[in-house]
Chain A
Amino acid sequence: MKLKVSMKRPSINLLAGLSTINRLLVSVLILIVIIIAIGLKLTFPQVSGLLNINRQNNDLKQKTASLEKKLNELSSYNRLEIDGLYRKVLEAVPDENYFLKQLALIKLLASENNVGIADIQVKPGLIEKNSVSQNADGKAGSLNNLVFDAKVRGNLSSLSGWVKSIETSLPLSEISKMDIDIKYSSASASINQVLEAEIQIVSYWSKLLDYLGKIDSSVAKLDKTDYDTLSLLNNYQSIPVAPLPGGDYSEYGGAVGKDNPFP
């Protein structure tokens, strides 16, 4: 009879072959695994979130450390000295295309050295609202050229003095080309002979950076080479220039062209 029953109902219960004790044990084990799984499922997002916060904390620690390092570096600089150097480099390479000032300087130096300027041409570039730039997007961190082509007249001594004074004045300028014609003598030139010269003077300017970077970025260091270079600027003189008629040197590049009578 017993055999008949088992034949009628084949075991589909996985625990059928186990004794009551073992059946209970297996059920409890499954229950435990389920409890642990639920526990893990519930705590995992929390743990993950905390690990994220921990990572952010580590980032904050690093950021604070770099800020403190930067603070130490910055406080080690002499503000007065840096301020003086800053003014000097801006005199050497202005942050705007102050071509009127440069033009006035070239003319002033010419008259001081008895050099007559017959003609001078400058191509200042595009005129912006408050300044003039060589390129519409004059890049910061690179030199922009401001080229003057001049025809001048003078003797060798005065030309030499004029060129030398241009080369040793601020803003920095270079004589990129010079052609000298000897007009007034059939004999060889002498120091007092009047010569005509075509000269090309190149001045430079460079925009200041608009954005310095993140606050925790490292400080650009001034090394010995930089200081050596900057000390050479002491050999150059800055010459105060009187404004040209109608010129306003608070915005050297701005006082160009006619005023708008119908603003």
Chain B
Amino acid sequence: MRNTINFLGVQTGRRIAIANQLRGVIKALIWIVGIELFASLIFIGWQLGIKNQTGKLERQNQQAEAQVDQYRDLESMIYTVGTRAKLIKPLLKPDNKKISSLIELTNILSNQGILPKNGFKIGKDSSLQLEGVVESVYDLDKIKTIMDEIKNQGYFNSYKVDGFNRIQSGQYRLSIVVYMEEVTQ
């Protein structure tokens, strides 16, 4: 009898334990399924939201593109104006008019009798080179005085007498280089 009772008690206790475990397992499964369903709902909502947003953004983008496209010719003009302004800037420096300034200077010098008869050269480095034979009544000091005087009037920046050689009586080979700009020598 005692054994029977014990046996039954053990059997009953085990069944109850198994039933409890099963309940726990079922609960866990329900939770998992619930969580997955909830996650699926959130996921579907997120998916719909994003797709809706994509459509909206694409429409906005197309609209903005269409508006900008209307200004495309203006943009092209602005670009051209900007790039050419940078390209032409070095060409518009006042010293680029040096040639005509140098010719004016030559004119002034010629009026002082300092124009060599063989001609002169104008270089791109804003220099004027006067070369040739001078049938000069001037001596070197007198030429220097005249050049300094003209220089002081602001016609040029600096000059150098490159050569002043006596060829024969009353004839000198003169070479003067006049610089319109500051030149590092």
Contacts and interface: CB of A to CB of B under 8 A. Distances in A.
Q: Is chain B found bound to chain A in the same assembly?
A: yes
Contacts of A28: 25, 28-29
A121 interface: no
Contacts of A185: 117
A82 B77 contact: yes
Contact of A67 (B53, B64, B72, B111): B64
Query: What size tier do the contact residues of chain A reach?
Result: 35 or more
A109 interface: no
Contacts of A71: 64, 67-68, 71
B46 A50 contact: yes
B2 to A, nearest CB: 24
Contact of A53 (B39, B50, B106): B50
Contacts of B118: 181-182
Interface in B97-121: 97, 99-100, 103-104, 106-107, 110-111, 113-121
Contact of B80 (A191, A209, A216): A209
Q: Is the interface of B mostly helix, strand, loop or mixed?
A: helix
B57 A178 contact: no
Interface string B69-83: 101101111111111
B36 interface: yes
B40 to A, nearest CB: 8
Given A32-B29, A89-B85, A191-B110, A168 B97 contact: yes
Given A57-B50, A226-B86, A215 B43 contact: no
A63 B60 CA distance: 10
Given A50-B46, A77-B78, A32 B91 contact: no
A89 B81 contact: yes
How many of chain B's residues touch chain A, expressed as a range? 35 or more
Contact of A75 (B25, B71, B121): B71
Given A24-B25, A92-B84, A156-B106, A176 B124 contact: yes
Contact of B17 (A21, A35, A47, A186): A21
Contact of A24 (B18, B67, B120): B18
B80 A50 contact: no
A68 interface: yes
B87 A143 contact: yes
A94 to B, nearest CB: 10
A178 B74 contact: no
Contacts of B75: 74, 212, 219-220
A167 B98 CA distance: 9
A174 B104 contact: no
A11 interface: no
A141 B87 CA distance: 8
B78 A24 contact: no
A110 interface: no
A110 to B, nearest CB: 14
B97 A74 contact: no
B99 A191 contact: no
Nearest to A172: B91
A212 to B, nearest CB: 5
Interface string A11-53: 0000000001100110010001001100100010011001001
18 contacts: A20-B14, A32-B28, A70-B68, A92-B84, A93-B88, A159-B103, A160-B107, A172-B92, A177-B124, A181-B119, A182-B117, A182-B119, A188-B134, A189-B117, A190-B111, A209-B76, A221-B78, A233-B92
